[in-house]
């Protein structure tokens, strides 16, 4: 899958990430709120995410999961910087929003998404047949 999903690190201005001017008087920051544009992909109530950027009309402009970690922490403060680490927190809601964002990216070309997932699907089926007690 590496030939399909290649990582590229880029910098983006906050205005691009937020999809608006972060200092505008029209910008509203809603904490612990569902990102409602993804409701069309989800049955039931969407989980809340950390930050939803909205305009004053309540239209969702972007949604962000935030995890702030201070480095060093209590386990690494005696170590040299090359021994510091980072962490990623993946909560159940994070998985929901990841899946919804993938569907949203491919909403105009679902066939491409299906083509990319087909090899994975066969491996999942093979795994579930081999380890039925986990499923």
pLDDT number for residue 86: 67
Q: Is the pLDDT of residue 29 over 80?
A: yes
Which of 16 and 128 is assigned the larger pLDDT? 16
pLDDT tens, residue by residue, 46-60: 999 999 999 999 999
Contact 58, 30 (CB under 8 A): no
pLDDT tens-place string over residues 7-24: 677 899 999 999 999 999
User: Which residues neighbour 24 within 8 Å (Cβ) at sequence distance 6 or greater?
Assistant: none
The C-alpha atoms of residue 122 and residue 17 are separated, in whole angstroms, by 35
pTM: 0.68
> 72-123: per-residue pLDDT in tens?
777 778 888 877 766 777 788 888 999 999 999 999 998 888 888 777 767 7
Task: Say whether 27 sits in a helix, a strand or coil.
Answer: strand
């Amino acid at each position: 899958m590496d030939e399909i999903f290649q990582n590229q690190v880029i910098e983006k201005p906050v205005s691009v990430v937020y999809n608006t001017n972060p200092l505008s008087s029209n910008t509203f920051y809603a904490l612990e709120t569902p990102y409602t544009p993804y409701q069309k992909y989800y049955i039931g109530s969407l989980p809340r995410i950390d930050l939803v950027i909205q305009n004053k009309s309540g239209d969702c402009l972007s949604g962000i999961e935030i995890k702030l970690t201070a480095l060093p922490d209590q386990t690494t403060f005696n170590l040299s910087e090359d021994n510091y680490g980072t962490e990623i927190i993946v909560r159940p809601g994070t998985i929901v929003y990841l899946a919804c964002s993938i569907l949203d990216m491919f909403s105009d070309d679902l066939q491409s998404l299906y083509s990319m997932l087909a090899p994975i699907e066969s491996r999942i089926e093979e795994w579930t047949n081999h380890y039925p007690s986990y499923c």
